[in-house]
Amino acid sequence: MNPLDDVLTAARPVPDISPDGLRSGRAALDAAVATGLRAPAAEARRKPGGGLRARVLIGTAVATAGAAAAATVIAMPSSPAGRHTGPAATPSGPVMASAVVLNQAAQAAGSQPGWPNAQYWYSEDKYPCGGQLYTSRVWLSRHGNGVVEKTGPTDIRDSSCGADLFTAPIIDSGRFGPYTWSQLQRLPTDPAKLKPKLMADFPSPDQPSLFEDVEILLVGTPAPPTVRAALFKVEASIPGVTVTGHYTDALGRTGTVLNLGRSTMVVDPASGVVLDETDSGSTVMYVTQGPAASEPKLSGPGPSPSGSAESH
């Protein structure tokens, strides 16, 4: 016998579930789904290669398959899929201190145009799975539900990547970690006041976690330019952040690599945007974000984001 047969033999036969047990299980699932529709956002996203990384972002996406209701939790991806394996960077010329890079990014971010009247926020990310590139497109609504769409190659080389292909609603999508859309607009623009507020509001108030929390707010939310500038300055104040060189991703974009612990972030200080991020070996390229005219229809292809969306 092979090892699987040995395991099945040792486990002994298991009786079929009874009708009462099936009804109880379905009731528990329905209750969990109903709770998830209104739960504050503590998100997890399936990562290439398996495993889940907890993220604090938007609301809970719920999809149904056949007769079974299944809650699908999602969040913005994280990390660089470039010419290098992992977050290793290529030094090029003198390596600047992290505070210099982040303060340059803060200045550029603060000069960006604002979007106070945006009704939807559109983000597009790309990430590798099974040696192929997949795309995540998210429309977040200022009032109500949003939409997430995951697309990829039809010739799936790794069956685990197929779970990342779906379109689903995002319930109560106007939440970004602990903040509503309106609260996000009102965050302090003074980094000395913003930093303690972030450490109090996010669930893991330590310096390495703060590095990741700030990155989440920079890449997946409609935080206004003045808040983005302050967020970069908060990153500059975190001890232990290092610059390791430059990184060119699969889209040909080159940025400065910043690292703290298991997280690596690639920033373009000239434009004030985060290009890529790696976390424990998982990678994502942040392609574009900005206001959108509307959300797509679930039954058909969605609209393109409005012309004011940023191209990273």
- Predicted local confidence at residue 15, as pLDDT: 52
- Predicted local confidence at residue 309, as pLDDT: 47
Calpha distance 102→257 (Å, rounded): 11
Say which amino acid occupies 70: A
- Say which DSSP state 74 is in: -
- Say which DSSP state 199 is in: H
Residues belonging to the chain:
312
Strands 146-151 and 166-170: antiparallel
Model pLDDT for residues 246-283, shown as the tens digit of each residue: 999 888 999 999 999 888 999 999 999 999 998 777 88
- pTM for the full model? 0.70
| Residues ≥6 apart with Cβ < 8 Å to 254 | 246, 247, 248
Of the candidates 222, 206, 225, which has an alpha carbon nearest to the alpha carbon of residue 263? Answer: 206
Strands 132-141 and 120-129: antiparallel
- Predicted local confidence at residue 180, as pLDDT: 92
**Tokens 């390596």 identify what position?**
95
- Predicted local confidence at residue 44, as pLDDT: 30
Token pair for residue 139?
């429309």
- Predicted local confidence at residue 72, as pLDDT: 25
Strands 175-176 and 263-268: unpaired
- Predicted local confidence at residue 138, as pLDDT: 93
- Predicted local confidence at residue 131, as pLDDT: 86
- Say which DSSP state 72 is in: E
- Predicted local confidence at residue 298, as pLDDT: 57
DSSP 202-266: SSS-SHHHHHHHHHHHHHSS---HHHHHHHHHHHHHSTT-EEEEEEEBTTS-EEEEEEETTEEEE
Return the SS3 of 283: strand
Of the candidates 220, 217, 146, which has an alpha carbon nearest to the alpha carbon of residue 187? Answer: 217
Calpha distance 115→98 (Å, rounded): 29
Q: Provide the residue-wise pLDDT of the chain in tens; the chain has 312 residues.
A: 444 444 345 445 545 555 554 444 444 444 333 333 223 333 333 233 222 223 334 333 333 222 222 222 222 233 333 433 344 555 555 556 999 999 999 999 999 988 988 999 999 999 988 888 999 999 999 988 899 999 998 888 888 787 768 888 888 778 888 999 999 999 999 999 999 999 999 987 688 889 999 999 999 899 999 999 999 999 999 999 999 999 998 889 999 999 998 889 999 999 999 999 987 778 899 999 999 888 776 544 444 444 344 545
Angle 264-146-139 from CA coordinates, rounded to 5°:
50
- Predicted local confidence at residue 206, as pLDDT: 81
Model pLDDT for residues 133-155, shown as the tens digit of each residue: 999 999 999 988 899 999 998 88
CB atoms < 10 A from the CB of 7, how many? Answer: 10
